[in-house]
Amino acid sequence: MTWLDLGPVDAIPERGARKVKTAEGCIAVFRTEGDAIFAIANACAHKRGPLSEGIVHGRKVTCPLHNWVYDLETGEAQGADDGRVATYPVRVEDGRVLLDLGQVARAEVA
């Protein structure tokens, strides 16, 4: 595993996100109200909307373009929408967010 240090948890706004650019594409890293951290592909499966600019509610995010709702744990679109975005392993260690870049590369190739 190749872990990339994204900085302190507090650098991600509560109920918000930040966009991380990688060689394989952009990833949205979210922080929920309870300080859970999730990482998913930044582009909505519907029209490629920037999920990092969406509204975080509970453990879900709503795309800012057409209101598709994604589960941050599974990447699945909720409700009548049919779609999915990639999810990536993240962990918090000593108050810092770490993203597994090895999994990012494998997901983009698949």
pLDDT for 59 equals 97
DSSP state of 13: P
- Cβ(37)–Cβ(13) below 8 Å: no
Name the CATH code of domain 3-109 (choices 2.102.10.10, 1.20.58.220, 3.40.50.150, 2.30.30.60): 2.102.10.10
Tell me the pLDDT tens digit for each residue of 67-105.
999 999 999 998 766 789 999 999 999 999 999 988 776
Q: Reply yes or no on whether the pLDDT at 106 is more than 70.
A: no
d(CA 1, CA 93): 15
pLDDT for 109 equals 37
Mean pLDDT of the chain: 91
More confident residue, 66 or 30: 30
Domain range summary for the chain, segments of one domain joined by +: 3-109
Could you tell me which of 108, 26, 83, 95 has the C-alpha nearest to residue 17? 26
